[in-house]
């Protein structure tokens, strides 16, 4: 799956719909992402190189709502992208890692930070009042505790507000038909 969403005339995306019919993810996550998902490959590369990217699980309702809240409240200077539409190989990320944790990809050197470190970077790129929290999240012993809390939340995101059973499944199983029927 090269690049972010392939755009008009592309093969069906992971949600099972062709873009011309209306990708479920693009319709669900709203207009700020539609532009990102339909940009030309050259434009995507320029976007990826000019600002940090925060990859999140686009299939997870809890993740999507959390990202929308962060966009409104924290207002970080970052490009949010569902990992299902990102060119993971170009970003130096595996599908397994992207499915396991939120990822911050720095435009300088392409450094990748996951989990609480990614959230810390997002907070530090946001409005002034949130920067201190991002700094505190990187300091011991807070960063040790943040790692444990992040793992518990990630493992139970299907139980949290906005979460669905899809949030608890590994990506490879989310769109497979039920073989037990």
Q: Does pLDDT of 3 surpass 70?
A: no
* Residue 116 pLDDT: 97
For residues 59-75, give the mean pLDDT: 92
Return the structure tokens found at 102.
């939120």
| Mean pLDDT score across all residues of the chain | 77
Query: pLDDT tens, 16-53?
Result: 444 334 444 444 444 344 444 445 555 555 555 689 99
Q: Does pLDDT of 143 surpass 70?
A: yes
Give the Cβ contact number of residue 24 at 10 Å: 15
The candidate with the shortest Cα–Cα distance to 23, out of 32, 13, 33, 8, is: 13
The residue that leads in pLDDT, 4 or 57, is: 57
* Residue 70 pLDDT: 96
Nearest-angstrom CA–CA distance, 166 and 7:
24
Query: pLDDT tens, 73-129?
Result: 999 999 999 999 999 999 999 999 999 999 999 998 889 999 999 999 999 999 999
Return the structure tokens found at 157.
């995101």
Rg from Cα positions in the chain: 16
């Amino acid at each position: 799956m090269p690049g972010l969403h392939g755009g008009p005339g592309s093969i069906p995306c992971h949600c099972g719909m062709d873009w011309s019919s209306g990708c479920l993810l693009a319709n669900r996550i709203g207009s700020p992402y539609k532009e990102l998902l339909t940009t030309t490959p050259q434009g995507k590369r320029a976007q990826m190189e000019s600002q940090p990217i925060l990859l999140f699980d686009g299939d997870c309702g809890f993740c999507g709502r959390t990202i929308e809240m962060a966009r409104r409240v924290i207002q970080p200077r970052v490009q949010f992208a569902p990992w299902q539409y990102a060119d993971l190989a170009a970003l130096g990320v595996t599908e397994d890692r992207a499915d396991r944790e939120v990822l911050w990809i720095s435009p300088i050197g392409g450094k990748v930070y996951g989990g609480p470190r990614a959230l810390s970077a997002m907070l530090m790129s946001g409005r002034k009042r949130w920067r201190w929290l991002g700094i505190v999240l990187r300091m011991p012993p807070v960063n040790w505790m943040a790692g444990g809390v992040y793992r518990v939340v990630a493992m139970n995101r299907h139980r949290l507000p906005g979460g669905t059973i899809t949030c608890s499944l590994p990506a490879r199983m989310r769109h497979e038909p039920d073989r037990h029927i």
